[in-house]
A = this chain, B = another copy of it.
C-alpha cells in the first residue's frame, strides 16, 4: 500500500471515475477520495460504493485535493475548469479522462492557474455500460492510458500521475495532442460512428422486422450493437469535439467502401479476396499483442441465453 496522492477529487462519477476509485481503494493509493456529480442520486450511489465523501459542487470537491480528475463529457470540461480554477490547491495535479485531447486542452488549459500542473489524459478502457454502478477495479488492467503533457510539464508531477495509473494496472504512454486525436479517430471514434450507423440502418428497415433483426443478430450484427450501446452524451461530445480527425477518417472509409462496393457490383472476386486476406493479418497482430482474446467469438460461450438470464 503506497499512497500516491493524499486527497483525490473526482469530478463526474461514471464508469471511469468509479473504476478509478475502486482501483485506488483496492490498493490504498489515495488517503481520501472525494467525489461530485450533478445528480444527487449519482452522488448517493458513489458515496455508498466508492467515495469517502461527496460534495454538491465541483468547487468544494477540489479544495485541498492533490489530484483532480475531470471525468465529465468533453463538452462539459470548460465550464467545470472555470468553476474549480480559483479553488485549486497550489502544486495540485489536474488531469482529465476525455476521449479527445485537443478540445479539452483548449477548453481547460486557459483556466488552470500557475503552479497547478495540468496533464491531459485518456484511459483507453471502457465497456458499453455507464453510470456510477458500472465501474470496477480491474477496468484498466493491461489497458493503455495516454497522456498528452504540454511542453514544459513538471517531470515530478508527471511521474506521480504515471505512478498512480500504473498502480491501477494501466500501461502509460505519452503523445502529442494532435496525433492522439488522429489515432483515436481511427481506433475508436470512426468505428463507433460506423457501428451506430449500421444499427440505425437496421432500425430503419421496413421489409425486415425488428424482431427478425434481433433474432438473427448473432450472424455479425450483434458485434456492432455493443459499441452502439455506449453513452450517447459522451459520444455526441466526442464527435463534436474531434470533428476534423473524425471527418478525415470517415472520408477515407467511404472511399474505401465505394471501391469494395464497386468490386461487388462488377463481380471482381480477386479484389475482394485479396482485401479480405489482408485484414486477417491485423486481427492476428491484435491477438499477439495481447489486446484481445483469441477465444472464438470473443469467448462468448455457447449459450448466451443463460448469460442473459444471469446463469
Contacts and interface: CB of A to CB of B under 8 A. Distances in A.
Nearest to A235: B276
Given A221-B188, A276-B235, A293 B304 contact: yes
Contact of A264 (B186, B240, B275, B299): B240
Closest 5 CB pairs of A and B: A290-B305, A127-B296, A188-B219, A232-B276, A229-B283
Interface stretch (A59-67, A86-94, A189-197): A189-197
A200 B202 CA distance: 23
Interface string A136-159: 001101111010000000000000
Nearest to A99: B219
Interface stretch (A1-9, A102-110, A244-252): A244-252
Interface in A160-195: 179, 182-184, 186-195
Interface stretch (A37-45, A49-57, A113-121, A204-212): A204-212
Interface of A: 75, 124-129, 134, 138-139, 141-144, 146, 179, 182-184, 186-205, 207-208, 210, 212-230, 232-233, 235-237, 239-240, 243, 246-247, 249-250, 252-254, 256-257, 260-261, 264-265, 267, 269, 272-273, 275-280, 282-305, 307-310
